[in-house]
């Protein structure tokens, strides 16, 4: 989990029950259970803090959660208008566009803020085959034993998928294995009964399909097994905007310094410049001439940052 998602550990699953959020499990034929993926309605929350608390608790339980109505139609239209020319220029059945954006005597705690790892637009068109199941945090050579419950520090990535168009099981909605973020990392993913007329021969009941309407979002921990499904429709495009965050002291998956135009980066708010990797991670990683990069890029406008 991105280190900035710090929550009060006194916040328990009981609070989810009180707000009528589903935290039940599905019992499998072998007696084991699969935690249910929570579905949260963005419009039902009066405060951002309460929404963040529920998202964090949901991620701890199942490894993922759906946030309905997170983005307005006007925002999605603006995003697609900007990215569509690039998608059309690829000419591929499966289009992806990247590059979208001395200690003293006192003991102190430094919190490394999260940073952008990569951004991707997925344009999954008819005929695209299913993606293999994987964990996104494999890029960090992550290895963990099985755990009965989630503990802070286990995760290195937080993933966000926003539906630009309708995402259905038929057009390739992401297949997710709830609870797999707590498995032993040596355990292989379950088998998806691809094209099987007898679903019971596979592990279909272990999967959650992230079906979404435009504007819905799916958030997931990087240690959760998942993979895009096949687009078996005749004429539907599955359009998804994705952003991945990681810890501020880890290497970014996409090299943001070469992938982006520096002058374009300077046009972003200072907070976004730092999030994109042009800030220094506390206590002081990523400096240039002992200065924070955004200070060199923006001068006094970047403000003062206390690192130690």
Q: Please report the pLDDT score of residue 283 as a whole number.
A: 84
Residue from 42, 45, 23 nearest 34 by CA: 23
Is 268 in a helix, a strand, or coil? coil
CA distance 1 to 282: 17
Quote the pTM value: 0.79
Close Cβ partners of 40 (under 8 Å, ≥ 6 residues apart): 21, 51, 54, 55, 58, 65, 66, 67, 68
Is residue 204 predicted with pLDDT exceeding 70?
A: yes
218 burial level (CB within 10 Å; 0-12, 13-18, 19+): buried
Q: Please report the pLDDT score of residue 1 as a whole number.
A: 32
pLDDT band, residue 109 (cuts 50/70/90): confident
Are the C-beta atoms of 186 and 194 separated by less than 8 Å? no
Q: Please report the pLDDT score of residue 87 as a whole number.
A: 86
User: What integer is the mean pLDDT of 286-303?
Assistant: 84
Residue 247: CB atoms within 10 A of its CB come to: 22
Close Cβ partners of 241 (under 8 Å, ≥ 6 residues apart): 79, 83, 100, 119, 120, 121, 122, 161, 162, 164
Q: Which residues of 277-298 are buried (b: 16+ CB within 10 A; e: fewer)?
A: bbbbbbeeeeeeeeebbbbebe
CA 90, chain centre distance (Å): 25
SS3 per-residue string spanning 95-140: EEECCCCCCCCCCCCCCCCCEEEEEEEEEECCCCCCCCCECHHHHH
Output the CA–CA distances (angstroms, integers) from residue 295 to 25, 190, 291, in the order listed: 49, 48, 7
Digit-coded pLDDT (tens) for 130-186 = 999 999 999 999 999 999 999 988 999 999 999 999 999 999 999 999 999 999 999
For the chain, domains (ranges, CATH) are: 13-100+112-190+199-259 (2.60.120.620), 262-308 (no CATH)
């Amino acid at each position: 989990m991105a280190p900035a998602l710090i929550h009060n550990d006194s916040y328990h699953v009981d609070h989810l029950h009180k707000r009528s959020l589903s935290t039940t499990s599905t019992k499998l034929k072998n007696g084991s259970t699969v935690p249910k993926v929570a579905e949260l309605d963005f419009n039902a929350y009066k405060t951002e803090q309460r929404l963040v608390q529920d998202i964090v608790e949901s991620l701890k339980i199942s490894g993922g959660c759906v946030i309905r109505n997170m983005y307005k139609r006007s925002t999605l239209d603006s995003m697609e208008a900007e990215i569509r020319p690039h998608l059309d220029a690829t000419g591929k059945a499966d289009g992806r566009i990247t590059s979208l954006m001395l200690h003293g005597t006192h003991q102190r705690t430094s919190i490394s803020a999260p940073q952008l790892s990569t951004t991707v637009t997925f344009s999954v068109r008819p005929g695209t085959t299913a993606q293999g199941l994987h964990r996104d945090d494999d890029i960090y050579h992550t290895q963990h034993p099985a755990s009965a419950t989630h503990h802070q520090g286990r995760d290195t990535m937080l993933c966000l998928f926003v539906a630009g168009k309708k995402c259905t099981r038929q057009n390739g909605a992401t297949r997710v294995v709830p609870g797999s973020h707590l498995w032993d990392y040596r355990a292989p993913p379950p088998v998806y009964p691809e094209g099987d007329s007898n679903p019971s021969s596979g592990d279909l009941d272990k999967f959650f399909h992230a079906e979404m309407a435009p504007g819905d979002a799916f958030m997931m921990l990087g240690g959760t097994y998942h993979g895009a499904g096949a687009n078996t429709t005749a004429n539907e495009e599955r359009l998804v905007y994705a952003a991945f965050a990681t810890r501020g002291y880890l290497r970014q998956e996409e090299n943001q310094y070469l992938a982006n135009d520096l002058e374009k980066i300077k046009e972003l708010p200072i907070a976004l410049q730092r999030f994109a990797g042009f800030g220094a991670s506390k206590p002081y990683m990523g400096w240039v001439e002992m200065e924070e990069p955004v200070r060199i890029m923006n001068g006094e406008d970047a403000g003062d940052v206390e690192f130690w």
